[in-house]
Amino acid sequence: MAPRTLYDKIWDAHVVGARDDGQTMLYIDQQLLHEVTSPQAFEGLALADRKPWRSGANLATPDHNVPTENRSLGIDGITDLVAREQVQTLDRNCKAHGITQFDILDRRQGIVHVVGPEQGATLPGMTIVCGDSHTSTHGAFAALAQGIGTSDVEHVLATQCLVGPKALNFEVWVEGTLPAGVYAKDLILAVIGRIGTAGATGHTMEFRGPAVTALSMEGRMTLCNMSIEAGARAGLVAVDEVTLNYVHGRPFAPKGEHWNQAQSYWHDLHSDAEASFDRRVALDASVLEPQVTWGTSPEMVVGVGGAVPDPDACEDEQQREGYRRALDYMGLSPNQPVTDIHLDRVFIGSCTNSRIEDLRVAAEIARGGHVASPVKQAMVVPGSGLVKAQAEAEGLHQVFLDAGFQWRDPGCSMCLAMNPDKLQVGEHCAATSNRNFEGRQGHGGRTHLVSPATAAAAALAGHFVDVRQR
């Protein structure tokens, strides 16, 4: 057989065949569901008198618009009645179809992309979909994980298949070692800065090289999570011992003889030595510095020691206009040093950076310090109830509280501000999330994407600082 990439292997293992119209049907092993993009899919099923193909291949949890305070009130804690109805609708649909759901009061509830891996529901070699673009996160486990729209949520519920063309192969090779104070988040921001938000459109990105294999599963998830911000259809990292050690023993992971069978199958989940990629990009991790976005697209990013660019220096007219508009929206000036950007709020959380490792790093920086007085709010939102419990067992919550941070209940929170956590007009926020689009964190809000370490350090200083110099 010709050498294949990891993507080719997972794809080949799931092709059901071609439909009458020539399109390929790809079998989906697992669908993750949340309250925002699934109601219309279930409604569509009902209207067509269809049932889920395989209820057991779905896992649901509410995350996008759950409040991050007063969780013990459950559904009653959602004061926005429209949001409450959405969470209740998910509840009703899961019960009606026998779909496993970690509901708002379940201690396993959390951001769907944190929950899946944490439960061992995300496994190597799987095909996974979810009506959420950050489904790419699960690619860290060598699972082909794609974000889809609601029509496809309904399609996968009804048929267990996703229909559409195969993507091309894109290799991101990362040489060297990440320096102290520089994290997976900085690496993926640097990749996006290099190739742009449309750099990997039509491709599945595989992250390879020594700097990638040196990452923990948490770090790999951060990388794959934001591959969508580079335009990729999915992100991938090959299976190794780090993957196996993470998966082993988790509640939904294979047990006994199944574990042995699975392990031997998973060992082949890497790109063959001679496999060919349609595109390649290479980076050296050892020269990276902490990254900070200054604009309204994740590609508008610089090192913390740098400055906001001058639009007049852009050669491309569209880019120049885009930069001007971004600076105007962000209230920044050309050549303004990044460390001169002052912050009103700090958000540590989201499917990108809300796992235990992220909280440990942030707590280490917060320990013994205090949130600077101009910062109105610094909040830490753990990715799941289990991450929260683990952090509390380690005393991290106390470190945050002592330093003046708020310690919240799990959910997507201020990453997209569908719940009450949001920015006010004109406020600058250091956020560990994934999108700095206009209004993303609240109408008129200004987002700067950073690592948890940089966010925590910025909270203490009141402006961006180089965490390597602390």
Partner 1 sequence: MKAFNKHTGLVAPLDRANVDTDQIIPKQFLKSIHRTGFGDNLFDAWRYLDEGDIGLTPNERQINHTFVLNQPEYQGASILLARRNFGCGSSREHAVWALLEYGFRCVIAPSFADIFLNNCFKNGLLPIVLKEEIIDDLFAQVASGQRLELSVDLPGQAVTRPSGELVQFAIEANRKRAMVEGWDDIGMTLSHSAAIRAFETSHAKVMPWLFVDR
Positions 419 through 448 that interact with partner 1 (CB under 8 A):
435, 437-440, 443-444
Out of 5, 68, 86, 137, the residue judged to bind partner 1 by CB under 8 A: 86
Check residue 138 for interaction with partner 1 (CB under 8 A): no
Choose, by CB under 8 A, the member of 40, 276, 398, 406 that binds partner 1. 40
Q: Does 79 bind partner 1 (CB under 8 A)?
A: no
Residue ranges in 371-437 assigned as alpha helix (H): 385-393, 396-402
Examine residue 23 and tell whether it contacts partner 1 (CB under 8 A): yes
Residues 89-128 that bind partner 1 (CB under 8 A): 89, 100, 121, 123, 125-126
Candidates 24-32, 219-227, 343-351, 403-411; binding stretch for partner 1 (CB under 8 A): 24-32
316-347 per-residue burial string, b: 16 or more CB within 10 A, e: under 16: eeeeeebbeebbebbebeeebebbebebbbbb
Kindly calculate the radius of gyration of the chain based on its CA atoms and give it in whole angstroms: 21
H-assigned helices in 98-204: 112-119, 150-159, 184-195
Near partner 1 by CB under 8 A: residue from 131, 290, 383, 410: 131
How close are the terminal C-alpha atoms of the chain, in Å? 53
Instruction: Identify which of residues 123 and 458 has a Cβ nearer to partner 1 in the complex.
Output: 123
| Choice between 89 and 276, CB closer to partner 1 | 89
Q: Is 161 in the site for partner 1 (CB under 8 A)?
A: yes
CB of residue 385 to partner 1, shortest distance in Å: 18
Of 274, 203, 212, 275, the C-alpha closest to 234 is: 203
Do 286 and 214 contact (CB within 8 A), yes or no? Answer: no
> Shortest Cβ distance from residue 134 to partner 1 (Å)?
9
Q: Which two tokens stand for residue 209?
A: 């090289």
Residue from 97, 108, 158, 398 binding partner 1 (CB under 8 A):
158
Given 148, 275, 327, 343, the residue binding partner 1 (CB under 8 A):
148
Residue 249 or 374 with smaller CB distance to partner 1? 249
- Which spans in 123-209 are helix H? 150-159, 184-195
Site for partner 1 in 174-203 (CB under 8 A): 197-198, 201-202
Q: How many CA atoms lie within 13 A of 421 on its CB side?
A: 30
Within residues 209-248, the interface with partner 1 by CB under 8 A covers 231, 233
Q: Which stretch binds partner 1 (CB under 8 A): 30-38, 102-110, 377-385, 401-409?
A: 30-38
Tell me how far, at minimum, the Cβ of 311 lies from partner 1, in Å: 13
Q: Which residues pair with 301 in a beta bridge?
A: 293
Angle made by CA atoms 399, 350, 153, in degrees to the nearest 5? 150
Residues 245-284 that bind partner 1 (CB under 8 A): 252, 254, 258-259, 261-262, 265
Contacts of 382 (CB under 8 A, 6+ apart): 110, 349, 354, 359, 388, 391, 408, 409, 410
